[in-house]
Structure formats: C-alpha cells, structure tokens
C-alpha cells in the first residue's frame, strides 16, 4: 500500500485532535525562534535590507527534508533518530555525540545570554549580563526539573502564539508607514567574499541547527507515551509542519522589521547584551507605539526563556539517548530507558554554559556568531546522516522519501558542502 493510500484510509481527524497532538514541532519552533530570529534575522534586515530574504527562504527549503526526517523516521521505524544513527554505524553515533556535546554548551550559553540581556530591561543596571544569565540558567533548570516535559509542551504553544501575533502586527504597521531609508541611501551588498562569515552564521541557525531534528524525534517518543495511538504518522507531520513553517514565517518577519525600522537609519546594532536588547524592544516600540514597550519586552523574554528551556531539554534528552544506546548492542531498538541521564546532563550543561558565559563576559553577538557558524559547519554531517537513515530496512517502503524530497535532499547536501568549502577559503585567506 502506498503512503498516500494508507493515509487516505485513516479516519478523518478533527481540528481539536490536531491541537492535542501539537507539541514536538512547536517545541522545535520555540528552540528555533531565538538567536537566529531575534538576532541574525534582524541584523540581516538592518544591514542589507531585503536582499537576504531569498537566501533565508532557500536555506529553510534546503533544510526542510532533514528536519522532516526527525518526524518521518520516528513514526515509520518506531525508534528515535539516535537509534537509527547507531544502526548506520557506532562510529557515526560517537561523532553525533561529540558534536552535540560541543554544540549543547555553546548554544545553551548563547541563548541564556540573550535571555539574560532581555531580563536586564526589567532590573536595570543593578546586575551584570553574566549574573542575569546565571539567573536564567537556574530558572530554566528549575522549570524543567520540577515541571517536566508536559509543562514545557503546554506553556510553549502560548508563548509562540504571543510572539507571532506581536511580530506580524508590528510588520504590518511598519509596512504601512514605509521604511526609514532615504531614496539616496545605498545598501551594502552581501554578495561578496567579505560577507561570507555573516552569511554562514545566518544560515547556521536558520531556522535552527539540523541536529534539532533529533530533539523532535525524542520529543515525539515522549508525546507517544502520553497520547498512544492518538498520535499517528499524519498527526506527527502536521505538528512538524506547523512548527517549521511558523519559524520560517517569523524569520522573514524579523528581517522585515530590521529592513523597515533600522535599515538606512544610521543606527549600528550594539554588540553588548543589554544594549542590543534595548535596541530590539525599541524597534517594536517605534512601530507599535510607546505603550507596547514593556509588553514586547515581556513577550521577548518569554520567547528567549522558552528557547533556553527547550535547548536544555532537547540536548540533554538527545545526549541521554546516546549514552543509553552506547550500553546496548549496536543497532538495537528502543530500550525504554532513553531519559535515564536527562536531568544530570541538564545540570552539567548548565554549569559548563555558565563558565562559558563568564569567559565571554557579555559579548553576546560574538558568542551567538560562534555558535551559528559551528552549526553550519556541522550541518553537512547531520544532513547526510538523516538522509542515510531513510534508506535503512527499518523504514517501510511507503514511508521513504519521494523523488522530489530525494532530489531536494541531494541539492541541500551539495549546497552545505559547497558553502563549507567557501567558508574555509574565506576563513584562511580573506578574513
């Protein structure tokens, strides 16, 4: 039976059903709508205007198959991506684990610093960005350890809705007013070797690092425990698509805000945390009115807090699955013990991230740029691994990628490989 025929035979699903199954995809969107959107997308619009909209859409399109495999493989093979990596080869699982150990603490530090910077809007100058970031990390760990996955799943949906409504509203108001750039203003071009570093950083977290697909996989397994057979293949794909396309839409919305409010204004984006947070909130307030300042600041803080929480949860769950899998025969299926090390890993990640934050001492944009570039360099590895997963015998034929998705995947892998070579040349000879 074909995938289309099998799905056609399923009983019709109501809107309320799909609202219940929403969760892992929305958590993925919450993790994505952080540094890549609030920082990189806003920077792209502020510096280059509308010129990078096409590249952002292209990267979201090329990454789509590899993220979708997180849901597709999990539902088809009834196991997580991590167990699938082990089936390909224990060496690949070791590589995945090492890359994630590095990315987990760098990403956690980056998003916690941004969240701490936004928190600084409420407390003033009484605390440093480093101290505020420690408060965010401690609060995130407390939230996760006491609230668990169910609380995270329930709260995140409303945070994303609030941010989406505020951002889209601000964009429509800004479009109605028009941009601030004068007719004689000439925007710099991003299409030169000098801009390669910025482009790679932008693409690394756009809409998120590809390893986030493994989070979607372990979150889906958790959601299956709660809903049982109510969460089927179609529901998992709907959940993923809602989260993915929401993050893509908001990426363009933040570019639009940067292009309409900051591009050509003569204002340079600050490199320190609290100063950047002030600029970010000023963008909204200048468009929506002074009345919105504290509302937007609160929504932005909730957005970044949910990002910090989901990053801690996602990486720790994925790494816990890896550690459990190392204790099993290579290629073995689900053990039911994947979450065994989740909380100890969360705490360890928080502690290491705290040391990284103290080392960077509030250099927010430098911290985030390093994390984004690292994510793009490793994207080629994760893209190939996910593509290879769909060829395993554990995936029934009607769940495999179609011709269009296979072609898109191959184009994506070639794109990541080519841009990595270009970045290597830029780093060695141009930077």
Q: Compare 336 and 412 and report the one with higher pLDDT.
A: 412
Q: How confident is the model at residue 5 (pLDDT cuts 50, 70, 90)?
A: very low
Q: Compare 86 and 181 and report the one with higher pLDDT.
A: 86
192 vs 94, 141, 186, 203, CA distance in Å?
Answer: 37, 42, 16, 16
* Secondary structure of residue 220 in the 3-state scheme: helix
Q: Is the pLDDT of residue 405 over 90?
A: yes
Q: Is the pLDDT of residue 364 over 50?
A: yes
Write a three-state SS string for 367-431: HHHHHHHHHHHHHHHHHHHHHHHCCCCCCCHHHCCCHHHHHHHHHHHHHHHHHHHHHHHHHHHHC
The Cα–Cα gap between 69 and 356 comes to: 32
Q: Is the pLDDT of residue 397 over 50?
A: yes
Q: Is the pLDDT of residue 7 over 60?
A: no
21 vs 15, 153, 161, 206, 383, CA distance in Å?
Answer: 10, 10, 16, 25, 26
* Chain centroid, CA 24 distance in Å: 12
pLDDT value at residue 362: 57
pLDDT value at residue 343: 92
Q: How confident is the model at residue 4 (pLDDT cuts 50, 70, 90)?
A: very low
Per 3-state DSSP, the chain is made up of helix, strand and coil in percentages (nearest 5) of 80, 0, 20
360 vs 129, 311, 350, CA distance in Å?
Answer: 11, 20, 15
Q: What is the pLDDT of residues 110-132, one digit of tens each?
A: 889 889 988 988 988 788 888 99
Residue 10 contacts residue 234 (beta carbons within 8 Å): yes
Please compute, for residue 167, the number of CA atoms within 13 A of its CA located in the half-sphere on the CB side: 28
The Cα–Cα gap between 172 and 166 comes to: 10
Question: Is the dihedral angle over the CA atoms 323, 240, 225, 400 positive or is it negative?
Answer: negative
pLDDT value at residue 8: 43
**Token pair of 46, please?**
């502020």
Q: Kindly state the average pLDDT of the residues 28-36.
A: 77
Question: Is the dihedral angle over the CA atoms 160, 163, 169, 170 positive or is it negative?
Answer: negative
Q: Kindly state the average pLDDT of the residues 129-151.
A: 87
pLDDT value at residue 148: 65
The reported pTM is: 0.89
Tell me what the pLDDT averaged over the chain comes to.
86
Q: Is the pLDDT of residue 10 over 60?
A: no
The Cα–Cα gap between 357 and 345 comes to: 18
Residue 345 contacts residue 319 (beta carbons within 8 Å): yes
pLDDT value at residue 273: 59
Q: What is the pLDDT of residues 287-310, one digit of tens each?
A: 878 888 888 888 788 888 888 999
The Cα–Cα gap between 282 and 72 comes to: 41
Which range among 35-44, 87-96, 179-188, 235-244 has the greatest average pLDDT?
87-96
- What percentage of the chain carries pLDDT values higher than 70? 89
Q: Is the pLDDT of residue 351 over 70?
A: yes
């Amino acid at each position: 039976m074909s995938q289309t025929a099998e799905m056609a035979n399923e009983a019709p699903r109501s809107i309320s059903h799909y609202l219940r199954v929403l969760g892992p995809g929305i958590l993925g969107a919450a993790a994505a709508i952080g540094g890549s959107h609030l920082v990189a997308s806003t920077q792209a619009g502020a510096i280059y205007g509308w010129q990078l909209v096409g590249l952002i859409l292209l990267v979201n399109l090329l990454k789509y198959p590899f993220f979708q495999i997180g849901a597709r493989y999990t539902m088809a093979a009834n196991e997580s991506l991590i167990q699938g990596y082990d089936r390909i080869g224990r060496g690949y699982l070791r590589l995945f684990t090492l890359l994630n150990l590095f990315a987990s603490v760098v990403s956690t530090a980056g998003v916690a610093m941004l969240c701490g910077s936004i928190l600084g809007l409420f407390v003033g100058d009484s605390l440093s960005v480093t101290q505020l970031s420690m408060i965010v990390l401690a609060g995130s760990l407390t939230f996760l350890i006491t609230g668990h996955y169910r609380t995270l799943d329930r709260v995140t949906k409303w945070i994303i809705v609030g941010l989406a409504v505020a951002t889209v509203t601000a964009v429509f108001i800004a479009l109605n007013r028009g941009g601030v750039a004068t007719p004689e203003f000439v925007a710099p071009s991003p299409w030169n070797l000098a801009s390669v570093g910025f482009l790679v950083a932008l693409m690394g977290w756009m809409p998120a690092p590809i390893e986030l697909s493994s989070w979607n996989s372990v979150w889906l397994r958790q959601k299956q425990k709660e809903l049982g057979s109510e969460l089927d293949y179609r529901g998992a794909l709907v959940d993923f698509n809602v989260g993915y396309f929401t993050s893509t839409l908001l990426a363009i919305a933040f570019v639009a805000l940067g292009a309409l409010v900051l591009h050509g204004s003569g204002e340079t984006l600050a490199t320190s945390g609290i100063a950047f947070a002030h600029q970010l909130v000023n963008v909204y307030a200048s468009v929506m009115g002074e009345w919105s300042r504290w509302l937007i600041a609160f929504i932005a803080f909730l957005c970044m807090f949910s990002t910090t929480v989901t990053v801690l949860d996602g990486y720790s769950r994925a790494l816990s699955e890896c550690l459990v899998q190392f204790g099993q025969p290579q290629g073995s299926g689900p053990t039911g013990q994947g979450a065994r090390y989740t909380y100890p890993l969360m705490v360890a990640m928080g502690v290491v991230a705290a040391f990284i934050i103290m080392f960077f001492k509030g250099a927010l944009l430098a911290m985030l740029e390093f994390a984004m570039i690292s994510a793009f360099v490793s994207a080629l590895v994760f893209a190939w691994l996910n593509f290879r997963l769909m060829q395993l015998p554990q995936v029934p034929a009607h769940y495999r990628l179609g011709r269009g998705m296979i072609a898109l995947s191959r184009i994506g892998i070639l794109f990541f490989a080519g841009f990595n070579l270009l970045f290597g040349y830029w780093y060695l000879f141009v930077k």
